[in-house]
Chain A
Amino acid sequence: MSRSPYVILKWVLIAIVLAVIVYAAGMFAANGQLLGTIVFGLIAISILAVYSTHRNIPAKYLLPGLIFFLAFQIWPAVFTGATAFTNWGDGHTLSKQESIDAITSSSVEEVSGQPRYSLRVAVKEGDDVATGEPVYILTDPDTKKVYAGTADGLTELPAADVTTGPTGRVTAVKGYTILTGREVNARSQELDSFAVPTSDGAAIKKVGISEAYEGKPAATYDPATDTITDTRPEASGQPAKVYKASDASWVNVADPNDQLPQGWKEGVGFSNFTNALTDPTLRAGFFKIVVWNFVFAVLSVASTFLLGLALALLFNDERLKGKGAMRALLVLPYALPGFVTALVWASMFNQEFGLINNMLGIDVDWLGNGTWAKVAILTTNLWLGFPYMFIVCTGALQSIPGDVKEAAAIDGASGFRTIRSIIMPLVLVAVGPLLIASFAFNFNNFGLIFLMTEGGPFENNQSAIGSTDLLITYAYRLAFTSANPNFGYAAAISIFIFMIVAVLSWVGFRQTKALEEVN
């Protein structure tokens, strides 16, 4: 092998990439995330194995793409599948034990009548006041003993280490830096959830910046009955509330409508899928979306193709003067970013101020009426998509040999007959795969729908399902913009899209015999 500077360059690159990956693996290890450490470790090993030898040349070219392909296309698909079988979503993000811990620790309450500690917030000497582990310097009001409280518990401080001011307030402690009031306020959010544990579940929490109380959790978990009992109502003479574990939430035994906000994540089997297909309201909406999804994709491809082809035919006449300039102007819509097109057309369709209503002197509620919104969206997509079809049809037309058309003319075929029987079949063969690709793109054309209508309008008080929703905008809203995000159900909708696309591609490939042409 040649010893060129490129060999050195190669090793420098390998070293840099490995250093970054090993650093990443280390960060995961430090964070206690074993899975991440293992994955990054495997990536590092595969890079070393592939690039350090002279064998297995194909792998050297495929590995970068393969890593991204596995990590961000295959893995998300698998993960989507797994998520679709869970209730993961708003209020269901924790494990069951974490939900119990969150409920009990947030219920620590001051026991009335107990004296309050006087508090100074400090950090260990040498730690940064803004980020260091907080230490509570607590003075017992009765015994005047001073304690240092950390997340691990209380330790008494020797009186010799503590300096107090004239009011009895601690002003300095050996080995600690006391924070000023302003510094405490800056960290108040963090300190509000900080508690110094004492005996049997009780904890010390701060009030304001200079006081702290010792309280007990009002809610307790009983593993034998799998219930959480909240004693707080007893203070006002009510019976304690008992919450039972039910459907991944803590539900009040006495009142099924009362449930705690912290539920937990668990497997729910096929219920996300079966709900979409069997729940009467969900089912009606779901099928409405699927039908519109197909109608939208088919009409978008058909309308753009027909207009593009018609214009290509129109301009495919060498006697026309200035057709070069006209072609360049015609394809300008294609050169405009898609998001700009969608947003501008949505504004032009605005009922009150929009250009369309103003110019035509009409008052149509384009985007507020389900049917008109569909018309508006298809019109916009026609404008957006016809230049592409115009380009590819022009290319296809120009590749049709002139003698074929001449032969048709000699045989006495009319212009229309020539188009139908000679030109159309030849063009379709050439652009067929592009039509399939265009259909696949429009089937999931999130950007256009979301930027124009966000899936709306939402008619007949139907808040979940909009008139122009595609499956993908529906799933997006379920996961990210609804009041109760439901990742599990959104993932199930994604799986439906996967399945529909898979069936369509299978049919498409059988038609085009593309799979047999792999060489």
Chain B
Amino acid sequence: MTGNIAATDVEAPTVAHPVGEKRRAHLWWKYALGVVALIWALFPLVFIVSAALNPSGTLSTTDLLPKDISLSNFTELFELRPYWAWYKNTLIICGVGAFASVFIGAAAAYTFSRMRFRGRRAGLMTLLLAQMFPVMLAFVAIYLTFDFLGDALPAIGLNTQAGLILAYLGGAMGANVWLLKGYFDTVPRELDEAAKVDGAGHARIFFTMILRLVLPILATVGMLSFVGLFSEFLLASIFLKDSENQTLAVGLWSLLKADRNKYFGPFCAGAILASVPVMALYFSVQRFLVGGLTAGSVK
């Protein structure tokens, strides 16, 4: 982990700022506050690691720093619950969901950024409004709809991952198109014109040129979708009833709900493993993140 941190400085490309007068003498309080902030940010993380390594594996016996170290919580977790099935389900649901979201959003953003057509303005406004109403607000209707769909098509009904992914895709266009369009607009149209003169069609321009040029924002949106779906609980909990069908969020919640004290160690073991993909993704797109988050929203 230490290697990662050193390699990933959050600092965005620095603008030269000349500082008026130097007051080096008064820097110590900044260090002091920085240390306080770090303690605040890190103590729960230390606690999770401590709980995961705690051999007795209960909440009541876990201190901030571990006394003994053992991996028994991990083995206990794998025996207790279908943990790797949850892991696989989560990666499939989030991976497919995020990829499809990005693709749908990018296709729509390309249209709104590059083409002029009737209903374009109205479409953009509708999507801006739709962004305010997350899909999960209508969860009752979604539940009843998929109950109905499942009667004829059990493959996409309730208690299926395919159904859950479909439900997530309802918000794909509304959620991302503005952020994406903002970035697409920064790619000079002259590039499109040049490609058109060279005989490229719209599909060729989109797939081979534009998608490459906007890769940073695609990575950012993909990461945000993936992380968002990773922790999505509402729809996942009403869709996925069978234990081996569940996601990490629903599964680990049910484990802790069964006995908060007794299963806290195995839960933390599972939580640490569950954090790996999110952290890896986060650190790999971190350098795009600041620019990406502000590019679409700030005019």
Contact = CB atoms under 8 A, between A and B. Distances in A.
Interface in A337-367: 337-341, 343-345, 347-348, 350, 352-355, 358-359
A483 interface: no
A68 B173 contact: yes
B45 A333 contact: yes
A350 B260 contact: yes
Q: How large is the interface on A (under 10, 10 to 19, 20 to 34, 35 or more residues)?
A: 35 or more
Contacts of A383: 40-41, 44
B34 A326 contact: yes
B86 to A, nearest CB: 12
A243 to B, nearest CB: 28
Interface centre among B33, B123, B294 (most CB of A within 10 A): B294
Interface string A389-429: 00110111011011101100110000000000000000001
B47 A354 contact: no
Interface stretch (B71-79, B135-143, B186-194): B135-143
Contacts, number: 317
Interface in A1-51: 1-2, 6, 24, 27-28, 30-31, 33, 36
A479 B130 CA distance: 24
A235 interface: no
A231 to B, nearest CB: 35
B183 interface: no
A341 to B, nearest CB: 8
Contacts of A406: 18, 20
Interface in A55-100: 57-58, 61-62, 64-66, 68-69, 71-73, 75-80, 83, 88
A296 interface: no
Contacts of B87: none
A64 B172 CA distance: 10
Contacts of B62: 355
B215 interface: no
Given A333-B45, A339-B253, A518-B124, A69 B173 contact: yes
B53 interface: no
Contacts of A345: 44
Given A394-B12, A491-B140, A518-B124, A502 B170 contact: no
A279 B14 CA distance: 59
Interface of A: 1-2, 6, 24, 27-28, 30-31, 33, 36, 57-58, 61-62, 64-66, 68-69, 71-73, 75-80, 83, 88, 311, 314-315, 317-320, 323-341, 343-345, 347-348, 350, 352-355, 358-359, 383, 387, 391-392, 394-396, 398-399, 401-403, 405-406, 409-410, 429-431, 433-434, 437, 440, 444, 446-447, 450-451, 472, 475-476, 479-480, 487, 490-491, 494, 497-498, 501-502, 504-505, 509, 514-515, 517-518
Given A61-B107, A76-B135, A339-B252, 12 more contacts: A2-B201, A65-B108, A80-B137, A335-B282, A339-B248, A343-B271, A394-B290, A398-B11, A398-B12, A446-B136, A447-B234, A476-B234
9 contacts: A6-B203, A65-B172, A72-B135, A341-B44, A350-B59, A391-B289, A392-B294, A402-B17, A518-B121
